[in-house]
Amino acid sequence: MRAYDLILLDFDGTFTDVDAEAVPFLAHYRRGLAELAGAGIDEAWEAAVEVVREAPDAHGFRFEGRIVAPSHADPYILSSCVSQLVLEQLGLEVGPSALETLFHASYRHAGTVFRPDARDVIEAVLALGVPVYVVSNSRTDNVRAKLASLDPALLERLEVRGDARKFHLVEPEGGDARFDAVPEARAVEGLARPLYLRRGRYFDALRAIWDATGAQPARTLVCGDIYELDLALPAALGAAVHLVGRPTTPAWERDAATSARGAFSTALAGLLDRLR
């Protein structure tokens, strides 16, 4: 009997080397932020980076004032945290829509650097004969373009659902008893702040896939590289989870991922151990 009826995969950071990919992104992002600020930001940027690094749990990607992703999760999230501090330091107000526009414009310049085992893992997962979906915060066309650079044939075998908005702490479209049972937040040992779970837009994406495939959360495996964004809600819904981290992944994320039906590995190929 197969272990899972459905496999859901995050993309950026899970199948890609975000530190390498983000180098050109950061150059464009910092240049664009300076244009928004109308002033040089280099000193303010470096100072803000140090502030975040000294107290990472006090900072993070925010949704309506609440932290919804760790500040140090990846260079993309770090840039968002740092930009807010830079603007505060300079006494400037820039609306969230302007920063979101800057982010997406800069993301188009990000590199495409896959983890060395990405193709082998994708092929092995697809060989299981169960539905496989990529569910990402990135826009669908960006993810599809990167997958096409790895192998255009993958686009015929993988379903891609972008713009998942895993960071939106809102109610889903329409009621659902499964979501109703999810608590607002959970305490995680080693993390000073609450970890918020009720991410309605992400649930909408998950529910649409469960409806399309007939799979149940308990028979679903979700793989991602940021526990808070990718895995906390699916785990609360009863799915099995696998965290693909980096050497810098904090202990609290590793511990949270390995409780209940979860596992952690620094290599993407560690996911295959769950599937054998």
Q: How confident is the model at residue 97 (pLDDT cuts 50, 70, 90)?
A: confident
Q: What stretch(es) of the chain map to CATH 3.40.50.1000?
A: 6-16+113-275
Question: Residues 48-59: pLDDT tens digits?
Answer: 999 999 998 899
Number of Cβ within 10 Å of residue 185's Cβ equals 15
**Distances, alpha carbon 175 to alpha carbons 171, 178, 184, 207, 230, in Å:** 8, 9, 16, 11, 22
Has residue 124 got a pLDDT over 90? yes
How far apart CA 57 and CA 59 sit, in angstroms, is 5
Write out pLDDT tens, residues 167-215.
999 999 988 999 999 999 999 999 999 999 999 999 999 999 999 999 9
Q: What is the pLDDT of residues 215-263, one digit of tens each?
A: 999 999 999 999 999 999 999 999 999 999 988 888 999 999 998 789 9
Hey, what CATH topology would domain 6-16+113-275 get? Rossmann fold (3.40.50)
Tell which residue, 26, 83, 19, has the closest CA to residue 49: 83
55 vs 62: CA distance, rounded Å: 15
Tokens of 131: 């539905």
